[in-house]
Structure 1
Protein backbone atom coordinates (compact mmCIF):
# COMPACT_ATOMS: atom_id res chain seq x y z
CA UNK A 1 0.00 0.00 0.00
CA UNK A 2 1.34 3.47 -0.82
CA UNK A 3 2.76 5.16 2.24
CA UNK A 4 3.00 1.88 4.16
CA UNK A 5 6.78 2.10 4.17
CA UNK A 6 8.15 5.38 5.54
CA UNK A 7 11.53 5.20 3.80
CA UNK A 8 11.91 5.44 0.02
CA UNK A 9 14.47 5.36 -2.74
CA UNK A 10 13.90 8.57 -4.70
CA UNK A 11 16.12 7.44 -7.57
CA UNK A 12 18.30 4.49 -8.48
CA UNK A 13 20.67 5.13 -11.40
CA UNK A 14 22.98 2.46 -12.78
CA UNK A 15 25.76 3.14 -15.30
CA UNK A 16 27.38 0.06 -16.83
CA UNK A 17 30.44 -0.02 -19.05
CA UNK A 18 31.31 -3.35 -20.62
CA UNK A 19 34.96 -3.65 -21.55
CA UNK A 20 36.41 -5.60 -24.45
CA UNK A 21 37.45 -8.15 -21.78
CA UNK A 22 33.68 -8.59 -21.00
CA UNK A 23 34.11 -7.27 -17.44
CA UNK A 24 31.24 -4.98 -16.42
CA UNK A 25 32.20 -1.80 -14.54
CA UNK A 26 29.09 -0.77 -12.61
CA UNK A 27 28.42 2.51 -10.85
CA UNK A 28 25.18 2.81 -8.88
CA UNK A 29 23.82 6.06 -7.48
CA UNK A 30 21.05 5.50 -4.96
CA UNK A 31 19.21 8.48 -3.45
CA UNK A 32 17.76 7.03 -0.25
CA UNK A 33 15.37 8.98 1.98
CA UNK A 34 15.26 7.66 5.54
CA UNK A 35 12.84 10.46 6.45
CA UNK A 36 12.85 10.71 10.26
CA UNK A 37 13.88 7.07 10.83
CA UNK A 38 17.27 6.75 12.53
CA UNK A 39 19.35 4.27 10.55
CA UNK A 40 23.01 3.38 10.21
CA UNK A 41 22.89 2.99 6.43
CA UNK A 42 21.66 0.59 3.78
CA UNK A 43 22.23 -2.94 2.54
CA UNK A 44 22.92 -3.71 -1.13
CA UNK A 45 22.59 -7.33 -2.23
CA UNK A 46 24.46 -8.09 -5.46
CA UNK A 47 23.88 -11.45 -7.19
CA UNK A 48 26.88 -13.79 -7.30
CA UNK A 49 25.01 -16.81 -8.68
CA UNK A 50 22.24 -17.25 -11.21
CA UNK A 51 20.41 -20.44 -12.10
CA UNK A 52 19.93 -21.19 -15.79
CA UNK A 53 17.01 -22.92 -17.51
CA UNK A 54 19.00 -26.16 -17.85
CA UNK A 55 19.42 -26.31 -14.05
CA UNK A 56 23.07 -25.31 -14.04
CA UNK A 57 24.38 -22.34 -12.09
CA UNK A 58 26.55 -19.49 -13.27
CA UNK A 59 28.84 -17.87 -10.70
CA UNK A 60 29.91 -14.24 -10.98
CA UNK A 61 33.06 -12.65 -9.63
CA UNK A 62 32.16 -9.40 -7.85
CA UNK A 63 34.75 -6.88 -6.68
CA UNK A 64 33.40 -3.90 -4.72
CA UNK A 65 35.75 -0.99 -5.46
CA UNK A 66 34.30 1.89 -3.45
CA UNK A 67 31.28 3.18 -1.56
CA UNK A 68 30.49 6.83 -0.83
CA UNK A 69 27.70 8.66 0.95
CA UNK A 70 27.08 12.28 -0.01
CA UNK A 71 30.42 12.35 -1.86
CA UNK A 72 32.61 11.09 1.00
CA UNK A 73 34.02 7.61 1.53
CA UNK A 74 31.63 5.47 3.59
CA UNK A 75 32.53 2.39 5.66
CA UNK A 76 31.17 -0.90 4.36
CA UNK A 77 31.43 -4.60 5.07
CA UNK A 78 30.89 -7.50 2.67
CA UNK A 79 29.13 -10.74 3.61
CA UNK A 80 28.55 -13.93 1.61
CA UNK A 81 24.80 -14.60 1.65
CA UNK A 82 24.75 -17.63 -0.67
CA UNK A 83 23.37 -16.38 -3.99
CA UNK A 84 24.15 -12.77 -3.05
CA UNK A 85 27.02 -10.67 -1.86
CA UNK A 86 25.60 -8.41 0.87
CA UNK A 87 27.24 -5.00 1.17
CA UNK A 88 26.41 -3.42 4.53
CA UNK A 89 26.95 0.29 4.07
CA UNK A 90 27.29 2.74 6.95
CA UNK A 91 29.08 3.40 10.20
CA UNK A 92 27.71 1.09 12.93
CA UNK A 93 28.33 3.83 15.53
CA UNK A 94 26.51 6.67 13.72
CA UNK A 95 22.79 7.02 13.00
CA UNK A 96 21.52 9.17 10.15
CA UNK A 97 18.15 10.50 9.00
CA UNK A 98 16.91 12.33 5.91
CA UNK A 99 18.01 11.98 2.30
CA UNK A 100 21.46 10.70 1.33
CA UNK A 101 23.20 9.93 -1.96
CA UNK A 102 25.03 6.60 -2.01
CA UNK A 103 27.41 5.63 -4.79
CA UNK A 104 28.58 2.03 -5.11
CA UNK A 105 31.22 1.05 -7.65
CA UNK A 106 32.00 -2.57 -8.44
CA UNK A 107 33.06 -4.90 -11.23
CA UNK A 108 31.43 -8.11 -12.43
CA UNK A 109 33.42 -10.80 -14.23
CA UNK A 110 31.81 -13.86 -15.84
CA UNK A 111 28.54 -11.94 -16.19
CA UNK A 112 28.14 -12.25 -19.95
CA UNK A 113 27.14 -15.13 -22.20
CA UNK A 114 29.21 -15.59 -25.34
CA UNK A 115 27.08 -17.22 -28.03
CA UNK A 116 27.98 -20.38 -29.93
CA UNK A 117 26.80 -21.10 -33.48
CA UNK A 118 24.18 -23.49 -32.09
CA UNK A 119 22.76 -20.77 -29.80
CA UNK A 120 22.77 -18.19 -32.63
CA UNK A 121 20.80 -20.60 -34.84
CA UNK A 122 18.27 -21.25 -32.05
CA UNK A 123 17.72 -17.56 -31.22
CA UNK A 124 17.13 -16.44 -34.80
CA UNK A 125 18.23 -12.78 -34.61
CA UNK A 126 19.67 -12.02 -38.07
CA UNK A 127 22.44 -9.71 -36.84
CA UNK A 128 23.64 -12.12 -34.12
CA UNK A 129 26.90 -13.97 -34.77
CA UNK A 130 28.90 -16.57 -32.87
CA UNK A 131 31.10 -14.77 -30.35
CA UNK A 132 28.55 -12.01 -29.68
CA UNK A 133 27.68 -11.60 -26.03
CA UNK A 134 24.48 -11.28 -24.00
CA UNK A 135 24.10 -9.18 -20.86
CA UNK A 136 21.52 -10.74 -18.55
CA UNK A 137 21.79 -9.03 -15.20
CA UNK A 138 19.49 -7.91 -12.40
CA UNK A 139 20.76 -4.33 -12.20
CA UNK A 140 18.32 -3.03 -9.56
CA UNK A 141 17.57 -6.15 -7.54
CA UNK A 142 14.33 -7.22 -5.93
CA UNK A 143 15.46 -7.23 -2.30
CA UNK A 144 14.59 -3.61 -1.54
CA UNK A 145 11.94 -3.11 1.15
CA UNK A 146 11.66 0.61 0.41
CA UNK A 147 9.79 1.55 -2.77
CA UNK A 148 11.84 2.87 -5.70
CA UNK A 149 10.31 5.97 -7.28
CA UNK A 150 12.56 6.18 -10.36
CA UNK A 151 15.11 3.78 -11.83
CA UNK A 152 17.43 4.17 -14.82
CA UNK A 153 19.99 1.78 -16.30
CA UNK A 154 22.47 2.83 -19.00
CA UNK A 155 24.65 0.17 -20.65
CA UNK A 156 27.62 0.99 -22.87
CA UNK A 157 29.83 -1.55 -24.56
CA UNK A 158 32.61 -2.00 -27.08
CA UNK A 159 30.15 -2.82 -29.89
CA UNK A 160 26.63 -2.05 -31.07
CA UNK A 161 23.53 -3.28 -29.24
CA UNK A 162 21.82 -5.80 -31.53
CA UNK A 163 18.68 -6.41 -29.49
CA UNK A 164 17.39 -5.69 -26.00
CA UNK A 165 14.63 -6.57 -23.57
CA UNK A 166 13.97 -5.14 -20.13
CA UNK A 167 12.05 -6.84 -17.33
CA UNK A 168 10.43 -5.34 -14.26
CA UNK A 169 9.51 -7.40 -11.22
CA UNK A 170 6.79 -6.81 -8.70
Structure 2
Protein backbone atom coordinates (compact mmCIF):
# COMPACT_ATOMS: atom_id res chain seq x y z
CA UNK A 1 0.00 0.00 0.00
CA UNK A 2 2.76 2.42 0.96
CA UNK A 3 4.64 1.68 -2.29
CA UNK A 4 1.56 2.50 -4.40
CA UNK A 5 0.98 5.75 -2.51
CA UNK A 6 4.64 6.73 -2.82
CA UNK A 7 4.64 5.90 -6.55
CA UNK A 8 1.45 7.93 -7.02
CA UNK A 9 2.96 10.96 -5.30
CA UNK A 10 6.16 10.72 -7.38
CA UNK A 11 4.22 10.37 -10.65
CA UNK A 12 1.95 13.30 -9.77
CA UNK A 13 5.01 15.54 -9.43
CA UNK A 14 5.59 15.16 -13.16
CA UNK A 15 2.18 16.67 -13.88
CA UNK A 16 2.44 19.68 -11.59
CA UNK A 17 2.14 22.83 -13.66
CA UNK A 18 4.70 25.43 -12.67
CA UNK A 19 4.56 29.05 -13.78
CA UNK A 20 6.68 29.65 -16.85
CA UNK A 21 8.62 32.89 -17.09
CA UNK A 22 9.46 34.05 -20.57
CA UNK A 23 13.05 35.20 -20.85
CA UNK A 24 13.94 38.82 -21.33
CA UNK A 25 15.35 39.56 -24.76
CA UNK A 26 16.07 42.23 -27.33
CA UNK A 27 13.73 41.60 -30.26
CA UNK A 28 15.28 44.26 -32.49
CA UNK A 29 18.11 46.80 -32.32
CA UNK A 30 18.57 49.49 -34.98
CA UNK A 31 21.33 52.13 -34.93
CA UNK A 32 21.17 55.08 -37.32
CA UNK A 33 24.62 56.74 -37.41
CA UNK A 34 25.26 59.99 -39.29
CA UNK A 35 28.87 61.16 -39.58
CA UNK A 36 29.25 64.88 -40.23
CA UNK A 37 32.02 66.63 -42.18
CA UNK A 38 33.30 68.26 -38.95
CA UNK A 39 34.07 64.77 -37.50
CA UNK A 40 31.07 64.84 -35.17
CA UNK A 41 28.40 62.22 -35.40
CA UNK A 42 24.79 61.68 -34.43
CA UNK A 43 23.59 58.29 -33.25
CA UNK A 44 19.97 57.29 -32.84
CA UNK A 45 19.18 53.84 -31.49
CA UNK A 46 15.88 52.03 -31.40
CA UNK A 47 15.71 49.10 -29.00
CA UNK A 48 12.71 46.77 -29.02
CA UNK A 49 13.01 45.06 -25.63
CA UNK A 50 10.78 42.31 -24.30
CA UNK A 51 10.76 42.00 -20.51
CA UNK A 52 8.70 38.83 -20.82
CA UNK A 53 6.79 38.12 -17.65
CA UNK A 54 9.61 39.49 -15.50
CA UNK A 55 8.97 42.74 -13.65
CA UNK A 56 11.85 45.18 -14.09
CA UNK A 57 12.38 48.88 -13.50
CA UNK A 58 14.10 49.37 -16.86
CA UNK A 59 17.26 48.56 -18.77
CA UNK A 60 20.92 49.50 -18.80
CA UNK A 61 22.69 50.77 -21.92
CA UNK A 62 26.50 50.96 -21.70
CA UNK A 63 28.30 52.95 -24.40
CA UNK A 64 32.12 52.92 -24.48
CA UNK A 65 33.86 56.25 -25.06
CA UNK A 66 37.48 55.16 -24.54
CA UNK A 67 39.25 52.80 -26.91
CA UNK A 68 42.74 51.33 -27.07
CA UNK A 69 43.91 50.86 -30.65
CA UNK A 70 47.44 49.69 -31.42
CA UNK A 71 48.60 50.73 -27.95
CA UNK A 72 47.13 54.24 -28.18
CA UNK A 73 44.23 55.43 -26.07
CA UNK A 74 41.43 57.29 -27.85
CA UNK A 75 38.40 59.03 -26.36
CA UNK A 76 35.25 60.35 -27.95
CA UNK A 77 32.88 62.91 -26.48
CA UNK A 78 29.34 61.70 -25.90
CA UNK A 79 26.79 64.38 -25.04
CA UNK A 80 23.22 65.49 -25.77
CA UNK A 81 21.81 62.16 -24.63
CA UNK A 82 18.03 61.80 -24.66
CA UNK A 83 15.79 58.77 -24.21
CA UNK A 84 12.25 58.54 -25.59
CA UNK A 85 9.59 55.86 -25.87
CA UNK A 86 7.87 54.63 -29.04
CA UNK A 87 5.58 57.71 -28.92
CA UNK A 88 8.60 60.04 -28.70
CA UNK A 89 7.76 60.86 -25.08
CA UNK A 90 10.76 61.39 -22.77
CA UNK A 91 11.69 58.58 -20.38
CA UNK A 92 13.50 58.81 -17.06
CA UNK A 93 17.21 58.05 -17.31
CA UNK A 94 20.43 58.61 -15.39
CA UNK A 95 23.91 58.80 -16.95
CA UNK A 96 27.14 58.00 -15.12
CA UNK A 97 30.72 57.32 -16.19
CA UNK A 98 32.71 54.23 -15.29
CA UNK A 99 35.70 52.43 -16.77
CA UNK A 100 35.69 54.37 -20.04
CA UNK A 101 32.00 54.06 -20.74
CA UNK A 102 28.73 55.91 -20.25
CA UNK A 103 26.35 53.88 -18.13
CA UNK A 104 22.76 54.81 -18.92
CA UNK A 105 20.03 53.55 -16.59
CA UNK A 106 16.70 53.84 -18.40
CA UNK A 107 13.53 53.53 -16.34
CA UNK A 108 11.82 54.60 -13.17
CA UNK A 109 12.48 53.21 -9.69
CA UNK A 110 8.76 53.53 -8.91
CA UNK A 111 7.46 51.76 -12.04
CA UNK A 112 7.71 48.06 -12.89
CA UNK A 113 7.68 47.07 -16.55
CA UNK A 114 6.62 43.81 -18.17
CA UNK A 115 6.06 42.77 -21.76
CA UNK A 116 7.39 44.43 -24.88
CA UNK A 117 8.65 48.04 -24.90
CA UNK A 118 10.40 50.18 -27.54
Shared topology, TM-score over 0.5?
Answer: yes
* TM-score w.r.t. length of structure 1: 0.54
Deviation at 1:69, TM superposition (A): 2.1
Number of aligned residue pairs: 96
Q: How does 1:81-92 map to 2 (within 5 A)?
A: 81-92=98-109
For residues 70-81 of structure 1, the aligned pairs below 5 Å read 70-71=86-87, 72-81=89-98
The structure showing larger relative contact order (alpha-carbon pairs under 8 Å, at least 6 residues apart) is: 1
TM-score, normalised to structure 2, is 0.77
Give 1:65 deviation, angstroms: 2.8
Question: 2: distance between equivalents of 1:11 and 1:50?
Answer: 26
1:14 maps onto 2:37 in alignment: no
Secondary structure of the residue that 2:95 maps to in structure 1?
strand
Which residue is equivalent to 2:9?
none
Q: Which moved more, 1:57-66 or 1:40-49?
A: 57-66
Aligned-pair CA distance for 1:70: 2.8
Using the TM superposition, give the Cα deviation of residue 62 of structure 1 relative to its aligned residue in structure 2, in angstroms. 0.4
Which residue does the alignment assign to 2:79?
63
- Aligned position for 1:166: none
Partner of 2:12: none
Cα deviation, residue 64, structure 1: 3.8
Aligned to 1:52: 69
Cα distance in 1 between the residues matched to 2:73 and 2:58: 31
Whole-angstrom CA distance in 2 between matches of 1:57 and 1:35: 40
- 5+ residue gaps in structure 2? 1-21
Larger % of helix: which? 2
CA deviation map 1:57-76 (0-9, x unaligned)? 10110014310123221010
Structure ranking higher in strand proportion: 1
Q: Which structure 1 segments of 5+ residues have no match? A: 102-170
Moved over 2 A (4+): none
